[in-house]
Structure 1
């Protein structure tokens, strides 16, 4: 069973956490949602506050060694808050140093730029952060999924099926078809 850490906080793009989480759980992955504080975090869904998700652990209580991969959902608010947290950035760097898959979608590649791990890497993201990704040394493309080594990036919620399938492939997991 693959163990996947999702790091998020209030304002995560609801579909970018919920859909990959459901698909990965359907494929028998063990998911741990970590955030800055205990309790629950609230999603952002089409311009309004959305559903809440229970926080399993705080970022201060998780370690890269306990997981096979890191998944970072986007949304504008979520990664902007997270990139200011030293422990979150340390975890991103730890997963990268261990050469474990890091999957970041939408605005979440901001965290990769903050962690200074995309120089020379092919990446994608939401259009408004592409200049930031270039400034961090990334080679930015406009593709559904960009894979460079252990870094997996996607642009938006429409990319979720391919994004999740690419993470599953990186972990040698059996893919499941998305439920209707």
Structure 2
């Protein structure tokens, strides 16, 4: 199953991209790096520049229905950039419209807020997003990982890099269930 990893051209937290990517690969899925422009994306270790990763596909040229699920890595700049790009926001919204599982960690729920898909859902994030999530109609909780099944799809969220093991286990379980349902 193809799994989209949506990132901005710069600002993605490297460990929140690479650890889930490896988990998806190890589970037998095909991770696909999707960004707003072709080329590559610049990852960061907090505020320090890290590696570059090649973009596989560009939003606006690919649709949610060509993927079995979506992973939204964090980093402060990554979701802040994505939420200002209408094609990226529409791409995210498409996963919810298609009933496909979405996994978001750290600051990534900012993009979910912009896509207007958190209303009525329980989710977690980096603590500084709790007011934004509540203001968007979501129920923010401080838990390692949350799987919310409000609506036709599963939303899997986690707070931070320390939660990556639980995050990956939870979204892989939901991706497997989605694959069985197809």
Give SS of 2:31's match: strand
Q: Distance in 2 between matches of 1:34 and 1:171?
A: 18
Question: 2:121 corresponds to which residue?
Answer: 121
Residue in 2 aligned with 1:3? 2
1:103-118 equivalences under 5 Å are 103-118=103-118
Q: CA deviation at 1:99?
A: 1.2
Could you tell me whether the CA contact under 8 Å between 2:46 and 2:75 is conserved in 1?
no
Deviation of 1:147 (Å): 1.1
Q: CA shift at 1:62, angstroms?
A: 1.2
- Gapped runs of 5+ residues in structure 2? 178-182
Shift of 1:46: 3.3
1:23 shift after superposition: 1.3
Distance (Å, rounded) in 2 between the aligned partners of 1:136 and 1:168: 27
Count of equivalent residues: 172
Give the aligned CA root-mean-square deviation in angstroms. 1.0
TM-score (ref. length: structure 1) = 0.93
Cα drift, residue 103 of structure 1: 0.4
Match of 1:166 among 154, 167, 170: 170
Contact 2:145-2:159 within 8 A present in 1 as well: yes
Unmatched 5+ stretches in structure 1: 174-180
The question of 1:153 aligning with 2:157 is answered yes
Partner SS state of residue 169, structure 2: helix
TM-score, normalization by structure 2: 0.92
2:87 aligns with 87
Q: CA offsets per residue over residues 72-114 of structure 1, 9 Å max, x none?
A: 0000000000000111111111100111101000000011111
1:48 aligns with 2:48: yes
